A and B are shown apart, each in its own frame.
Chain A
Amino acid sequence: DGGITQSPKYLFRKEGQNVTLSCEQNLNHDAMYWYRQDPGQGLRLIYYSQIVNDFQKGDIAEGYSVSREKKESFPLTVTSAQKNPTAFYLCASSIPAGLIYGYTFGSGTRLTVV
């Protein structure tokens, strides 16, 4: 079955270290997205990519970087410049087809920086 795989589910890192979160999809979707969730808050857009080798900043891109070298993969790096990296990170993808986005969601990665 097609879907989105995020790994790992739980990740622990020491402060000051960069860490890369994986997101892979086998849905043949063109667009991919990264969101961040903080306790008690809604999900916010970090970065998105509508096509291979292209990506755009979302609402809270500072301290993060991404790449989109393959259609299937959209890894997110949380850099040491991100002041509060501990959060839940969700990856999603969408077609889009015509006027419809058609989102599919990953299960997320919970990052804890100590």
Chain B
Amino acid sequence: KNEVEQSPQNLTAQEGEFITINCSYSVGISALHWLQQHPGGGIVSLFMLSSGKKKHGRLIATINIQEKHSSLHITASHPRDSAVYICAVESLMYSGGGADGLTFGKGTHLIIQP
């Protein structure tokens, strides 16, 4: 089964700082998702990537397929960015996936202080 590691587990930063959250996986994938979950709230899909880079507002996601690594960046961070960020990878079917082919990271808990 694909192993997904996120780092850091917890991150506290000051408003305005540039934030980077990392996700590494062990087996080839077809896609990688970045999800956001505010405290006590629901899940919001931020990005789905299979290659390269995507940008939405102050959020940027990159993926390096050869290195099996993805990063989520937040520019000009704001207290409303405080949330848990979850990486989820879709393993290539019949290769490295569980019954559902999807493996979640444990999440990165981000706190942005004013």
Interface residues on A, range: 20 to 34
Q: B99 to chain A: which residues have CB within 8 Å? A: 45, 48, 56, 58-59
Interface residues on B, range: 20 to 34
Tell whether B92 is near chain A: CB-to-CB under 8 Å: yes
The interface centre, meaning the residue of B100, B101, B105, B107 with most chain A CB atoms within 10 A of its CB, is B100
Q: Which of B33, B44, B100, B107 contacts A58 (CB 8 A)?
A: B100
Assuming the contacts A58-B100, A100-B90, A103-B90, asked whether A42 and B44 have C-beta atoms less than 8 A apart, the reply is: no
> What's the count of A-B pairs with C-beta under 8 Å?
70
A30-69: which have CB < 8 Å to B? 31, 33, 35, 41-43, 45, 48, 56, 58-59
Is the Cβ of B105 less than 8 Å from the Cβ of A105?
A: no
Residues in chain B within 8 A of chain A (CB atoms)? 30-31, 33, 35, 37, 40, 42-45, 48, 86, 88, 90, 92-94, 98-102, 104-107
Sample of 6 A–B contacts (CB below 8 Å): A42-B106, A42-B107, A101-B102, A103-B102, A107-B44, A108-B37
